[in-house]
Amino acid sequence: IKFTSTGHVELQVELLDPQTNRPQLRFVVVDTGIGLAREEIDKLFSPFTQVDGSTTRKYGGTGLGLSISRRLARMLGGDVSVESELGQGSRFAVVIETGSLAGATLIDNPQESVSRDESPRGQEFDEVPLTCRILLAEDSPDNQRLIGALLKRWGADVTLAYNGEMAVELAWGEFRRGQPFEIILMDMQMPVLDGYSATRRLRSLGYQEPIIALTANAMSEDKERCLNAGCDDYATKPIHRAELRRVILKQWHTNGPDPTGATHANERDDWPGLSPEATTQETSFVEAGLDPLPEREIALDRLNRDVALFDEISGMVQELMPQLLTEIEGALKDHDQERLKRAAHTLKNSADNVGAKPTCDAAYLVERLAQQSEWGSLATAILQLHCEAVRLQAALVPPSGGGNRPQSESTRPLSAKMQTELAPC
């Protein structure tokens, strides 16, 4: 209004594509004010910039309003555009994605709503309900339990897929029935069909709902690979409760990627436990005899200090490790690179879930050596991994009702020859 001394300012609101999964609202503001020359329009969205100094002197302002408005609109999946003619007026359009309006409440008393007690804004993060349908595509039992428990606690309706192929079938089937999952959490490293391929397949079919990658690789090229495959966002493993919830809430409300490029709180350029030299043949392994669970408290913090859930996950990790060690040894004998990488990757994530940094680092080294086809170094690295796994087995709580298992159960996965070589551990 301050730029329009005569004439009018008109607001128009229009609902776009109401039949799609991502309806949009378009707000158009038309005025008969001072208008802009064509060359001045490009300056409008630059922060702290106005078209000329006289504008600031006459009308005031910081030059931030349109820059902030465009950024907010893009965060909501839309944009701000402008058409203007000098001396004739301007037409500003704001488009935002509304998401599904099913179940939304129509306010019939706006004044009451505006004056309502502000206290709900201070709700605890976990008290805000997450009442959406989520497809969790994850093959590791401990991650299935961990992530599933968090999602259900937040109020989500969770469906589980054990591999990428199953995820595609479930997601596309629900989409065609007109009842799509509102969020897909897609593990990137799964058997049968990995998360990258599953995401690309869904996007090629026309699937439009948000897909969030679950990845233990936080390096920039890995994040780009997830986004290039068609994912809208990503969350890193080990799962951090607050971070996972933040990403889900963002995608649930906006159905779009973060346009600001803001980094996640727990991003890492590389695995923290190993130096760049840790993937070479001459690497010395993690010092033996250290606490097998040095980051237990950190792992508990990620679960909001839920000791019962932590103990349950610990029991699942304890049961899973012998299977993964057997898989790793078999893959080494067969020189099966992909199978070896996948098993080491899963073991790394499982160890990280309980704060077992030595086992986690040893598994990471096996994964990296497999990635680089360093077959000559892998046998020794796997011995070190098994050595750390034995210590971890002894430190973890036994599975519920199972009592303490004999030590032979935890060492049985490796061959007799390799177990003999473990004696110095």
Q: Residues 113-166: pLDDT tens digits?
A: 444 444 444 444 445 678 899 999 998 888 898 899 889 888 899 999 999 999
pLDDT of residue 157: 93
pLDDT value at 259 more than 70 = no
d(CA 291, CA 298): 14
- Diameter over CA atoms, the chain: 92
Q: Cα-flanking dihedrals φ and ψ of residue 64, to 5°?
A: -105, -20
* Chain centre distance of CA 402: 34
Cβ-count burial of 292 within 10 angstroms (0-12 exposed, 13-18 middle, 19+ buried)? buried
pLDDT digits (tens, 9 = 90+) for 188-206: 988 889 999 999 999 999 9
pLDDT of residue 52: 53
Cβ-count burial of 263 within 10 angstroms (0-12 exposed, 13-18 middle, 19+ buried)? exposed
* Chain centre distance of CA 271: 17
d(CA 179, CA 380): 51
pLDDT of residue 264: 40
d(CA 400, CA 289): 27
* Residue scoring higher pLDDT (20 or 349): 349
* pLDDT band, residue 2 (cuts 50/70/90): low
Q: What average pLDDT does this structure show over 9-23?
A: 81
Report the 10 Å Cβ neighbour count for 226.
23
Q: What average pLDDT does this structure show over 352-368?
A: 91
Q: Is 417 helix (H, G, I), strand (E, B) or coil?
A: helix
pLDDT value at 170 more than 90 = yes
pLDDT value at 368 more than 80 = yes
Percent of the chain residues past pLDDT 90, beyond the cut:
22
Q: What average pLDDT does this structure show over 322-328?
A: 89
Domains and CATH numbers, the chain: 9-97 (3.30.565.10), 127-254 (3.40.50.2300), 276-421 (1.20.120)
pLDDT value at 41 more than 80 = no
Across the chain, mean pLDDT equals 75
d(CA 323, CA 343): 9
* pLDDT band, residue 11 (cuts 50/70/90): very high
Q: What is the DSSP letter of 292?
A: S
pLDDT digits (tens, 9 = 90+) for 200-250: 999 999 999 999 999 876 566 778 889 999 999 989 888 888 888 889 988
pLDDT of residue 220: 66
Choice among 96-105, 254-263, 363-372 with the minimum mean pLDDT: 254-263
